[in-house]
Amino acid sequence: MNTVFKVALSLTLIMGSTLSFANEVNIYSYRQPFLIKPLFDAFTKQSGIEVNVVFAKKGLAERLVREGKNSPADLVFTVDIGRLNEVKEKGVVQAVSSSILTANIPTQYRDPDNQWFGLTTRTRSIYASKERVDLNKLQSYEDLANPEWKGRICTRSGKHPYNLALIASMIAHHGEAKTETWLNGVKDNLARRPQGNDRAQVKAIKEGVCDLSLGNNYYYGKMISNEEQSAWANAVHLTFPNQNNRGTHVNISGMALTKSAPNKENAIKLMEFLSQELAQQIYAEQNYEYPVNPNVAPSGLVQSWGEFKSDNLSLTTIAKLRKDAAKLVDKVAFDE
């Protein structure tokens, strides 16, 4: 396909055209292009099917609702169980029946109605100062509320999807009342008002602003691989909480087939490809995440962080409790 035609097709996607092409698959993605382009290049090389992507930071579910049956999108790519559940609740995706997907993706990481499927997993880890934290005193998420850590914790907003998912998991395990007490305890231990992203918290640990933070595991790999940020990563331990009981909280990146899907057959082929070994290896290497396919090993760097037990709580349960988690964040004025 020549460059002019690719540009023209991108414009038709952006404008919401109903055009579709027999050898194409069109994607709306919350995931940044550089993370997923190597996967699509490999798929095109293997299948001859071109992949076109429209990237956005927000609003894709609402866009699919507006476009309705005329949407050119075949697949939605996103991170966080909340966003995957959102497209299901808005009725803009459909079920996929595929023995390949069900064989490659464990039950825990796919929708019970087969309307979304996980691609990778990531832990919500605790980053701890190597110099100032005794890891023996930090075994669980629950420990973050202990008076030991008064004025020593940094975090991004409690309403960020990654934190909401963790809080929702706490509600599932402990109930709303105990989770409120815990969240109040964590707030009391904050070194500063919630701000920034996960990497900003590790930078603050390096600078002595705080000693602990919450962050997704893959940021550790990103910082180590970044010359300007490697000192931040080297200042902390990456820990996997709750290894003595339920296991560490995990979230996913995932995909869903749109209800309109003009290129449904091609889209399902891509979904199946992404669950198989080649794509899972590429994905894991590219972003320091864990493959969802249990037959594929993490990258060498990720393996060096050690094995861990993950919480087997249903992600569907977490999605259902996110609104309750958000209400608790407001109730305790966590971000204020």
Per-residue three-class SS string for 244-256? CCCCECEEEEEEE
Q: How many domains does the chain have?
A: 2
Dump pLDDT digits (tens) for 244-255: 999 999 999 999
Check which CATH number belongs to the domain holding 67 and give it: 3.40.190.10
Query: 289 with 241, same domain?
Result: no
Same domain, 176 and 150: yes
Instruction: Say how many C-beta atoms besides its own lie within 10 A of residue 177's C-beta.
Output: 10
- Four-CA torsion 86, 88, 93, 95, nearest 10 degrees: 150
Whether residue 86 sits in one domain with residue 11 = yes
pTM: 0.88
pLDDT at 6: 39
Q: Are residues 220 and 264 in the same domain?
A: no
Residue 10, pLDDT > 70, answer no
pLDDT at 63: 94
Query: Torsion angle, CA of 74/80/83/87, rounded to 10 degrees?
Result: 40
Is pLDDT at 2 greater than 80 in this prediction? no
For 207-218, the pLDDT digits (tens) are: 999 999 999 999
Give yes or no: residues 57 and 145 share one domain: no
CB burial of 48-69 (b: ≥16 within 10 Å; e: otherwise) equals ebbbbbbeeeeebbebbeebee
Q: Average the pLDDT over 160-164 and give the result.
A: 95
Q: At what angle do helices 161-174 and 81-89 cross, to 10 degrees?
A: 90
83 and 181 share one domain = no
Residue 335 has a pLDDT of 97
Q: Looking at the structure, do residues 24 and 117 belong to the same domain, yes or no? A: yes
The answer to whether the CB of 76 falls within 8 A of the CB of 263 is: no
Is residue 162 in a domain?
A: yes
Whether residue 155 is contained in a domain is answered as yes
Looking at residue 10, its amino acid is S
- β-partners of residue 256 are 76
Domain that holds residue 106: 3-121+251-303
Band (pLDDT 50/70/90 cuts) for residue 3 is very low
Indicate whether 188 pLDDT > 80.
yes
- Same-domain pairing of 97 and 134: no
| pLDDT over 80 at 9, yes or no | no
Domain for residue 336, yes or no?
Answer: no
Both structure tokens of 261 = 């899907």
236 and 99 co-located in one domain: no
* pLDDT, position 34: 79
- In this structure, the answer to whether residues 260 and 142 fall within a common structural domain is no
* Contact in structure between 317 and 172 (CB atoms under 8 Å): yes
Q: Tell whether 241 and 198 lie within a shared domain.
A: yes
Residue 297 DSSP symbol: P
Instruction: Round to whole Å and give the CA distance between 51 and 79.
Output: 19
Predicted confidence (pLDDT) per residue in 43-74, tens digit: 999 999 999 999 988 889 999 999 999 999 99
